[in-house]
Amino acid sequence: MGQRKPAMVWRPAAPTNYTDASRGRRKVNRIIIHVTQGSWAGSVNWFANPNAAVSAHYVVRSSDGKIAQCVKNQDIAWHAGNWDYNTRSIGIEHEGFVDDPAWFTEEMFRSSAKLVAYLHGQWGIPLDRDHIIGHNEVPGSSHTDPGEWWWWSHYMELVRHYWRT
């Protein structure tokens, strides 16, 4: 159930923008939902810039739900702004702007939900709002993403649906 890996492309972040966790990583127990405040291409290109000092594991495109993986799941992306949360989470960026609901498409929600269902199967992350959180819910965060237009109830219904199917 729900463990089929969704289609994605590999767009690696520069090694200077994440931590190689080949010697071990703490148990992943959260997924953090972000909004890029920009374009899909701009985000994957920024993560590839060795001077960015930031990354996420995935970026989901608004128009068609295309997923780019930028950091391997076992490595530590620098996305949460909180080192403890970085070491225990997977970050998913979503193309768009927090104050513009037009970016939050059904294609993006569905693609991201399939990804979360897959990650649940891989890591055992509980499918609830205590473990699938917005960037704004990370302790110490000054960010507002994913913002008021992120349709949490619908998103979580989709996540659970894709896990069951």
Does a structural domain hold residue 2?
no
Q: Which phi-psi region, left, alpha or beta, contains residue 48 (left: φ > 0; alpha: ψ -120 to 50)?
A: alpha
Q: Supply 32's token pair.
A: 């953090």
- Separation CA 50–CA 121 (nearest Å): 32
Chain centroid to Cα 1, Å, comes to 21
**In the predicted model, what is the mean pLDDT of the chain?**
95
Mean pLDDT of 6-27: 90
Q: What is the CATH number of the domain that holds 32?
A: 3.40.80.10
Q: Structural domain of residue 137, as residue ranges?
A: 9-164
**Count of structural domains, the chain:** 1
Q: Which phi-psi region, left, alpha or beta, contains residue 42 (left: φ > 0; alpha: ψ -120 to 50)?
A: alpha
- Separation CA 145–CA 93 (nearest Å): 10
Does a structural domain hold residue 4?
no
Q: How many CB atoms lie under 10 A from the CB of residue 83?
A: 11
Does a structural domain hold residue 97?
yes
Does a structural domain hold residue 1?
no
Does a structural domain hold residue 55?
yes
Sign of CA dihedral 70, 92, 84, 148: positive
Query: What confidence category does residue 4 fall into, taking pLDDT thresholds of 50, 70 and 90?
Result: confident
Does a structural domain hold residue 3?
no
Does a structural domain hold residue 47?
yes
pTM over 0.85: yes
93-133 tens-digit pLDDT: 999 999 999 999 999 999 999 999 999 999 999 999 999 99
User: In residues, how long is the chain?
Assistant: 165
Residue 154 one-letter amino acid: H
